[in-house]
Chains A and B, each alone.
Chain A
Amino acid sequence: AQRVTQPEKLLSVFKGAPVELKCNYSYSGSPELFWYVQYSRQRLQLLLRHISRESIKGFTADLNKGETSFHLKKPFAQEEDSAMYYCALKPIGGNNRLAFGKGNQVVVIP
């Protein structure tokens, strides 16, 4: 079974400082990794996925299969980045279950 671990519950950073949210996973097959975000009073939405290899809202994430990690990074935090962030995993060609980590709350201090 797949498992996603996000070790930090709350991350507070000052505006303009770098942000890094850690995500580690365990899955025996080939995974697809995602980061979902939930802004205050909004629905959970996709931020980025590893196969796209793109930067969204200044965020990037690289899949490191050796370390089984998919950390989310942004070099300069903005106030609008304050939100809950969830790392998620879906097996490629497997049971298609989308499994989530417990989430990180990010607070950007002006």
Chain B
Amino acid sequence: EAEVAQSPRYKITEKSQAVAFWCDPISGHATLYWYRQILGQGPELLVQFQDESVVDDSQLPKDRFSAERLKGVDSTLKIQPAELGDSAMYLCASSLSQGNTEAFFGQGTRLTVV
């Protein structure tokens, strides 16, 4: 069964360092989402791609966060510099299209900033 792949599963980094997360969506899925989930809260959308284009990054802290999906397939989310408050689970999800289709989630990357 096809799944969304994310790496690494866990990341510990010092504050002010750069960190990057990678996501490989299910093959053929045009829409890709990055969510941040702080402990005890629901997932919060950071950025949404349709193919290689960003369609929603209104909640992305652009002074330190960036995301790209250059070929419209896999995606990278970067934080530079990391801050203590960035400690969270970072989830990637994909869906077939922007229409009302199911979103499939990856296992997530647990980031701890020390």
* Interface footprint category on B: 20 to 34
User: Provided the pairs A43-B108, A44-B91 are in contact, do residues A98 and B103 lie with their beta carbons within 8 angstroms?
Assistant: yes
- From A9, A46, A103, B102 is in contact (CB under 8 Å) with A46
Instruction: Give Cα distance in the complex from A57 to B61, angstroms.
Output: 39
B98 contacts across to A, CB distance below 8 A: 96
Stretch at the interface among B18-26, B39-47, B64-72, B74-82: B39-47
Task: State whether B105 touches A44 (Cβ < 8 A).
Answer: yes
B55 contacts across to A, CB distance below 8 A: 95-96
Interface of A is mostly: loop
Instruction: Give Cα distance in the complex from A97 to B103, angstroms.
Output: 11
Task: State whether A100 touches B105 (Cβ < 8 A).
Answer: no
User: Provided the pairs A95-B56, A97-B56, A100-B43 are in contact, do residues A43 and B107 lie with their beta carbons within 8 angstroms?
Assistant: yes
| Contact surface of A with B, Cβ cutoff 8 Å | 4, 6, 9, 32, 43-46, 49, 51, 86, 90, 92, 95-103
* Given pairs A44-B93, A96-B48, A96-B56, 18 additional interface contacts (CB within 8 A): A4-B42, A32-B100, A43-B3, A43-B105, A43-B106, A43-B108, A44-B43, A44-B105, A45-B104, A45-B105, A46-B103, A95-B56, A97-B45, A97-B48, A100-B43, A100-B44, A102-B40, A103-B41
| Contact surface of B with A, Cβ cutoff 8 Å | 3-4, 31, 33, 35, 40-45, 48, 55-56, 91, 93, 98-100, 102-108
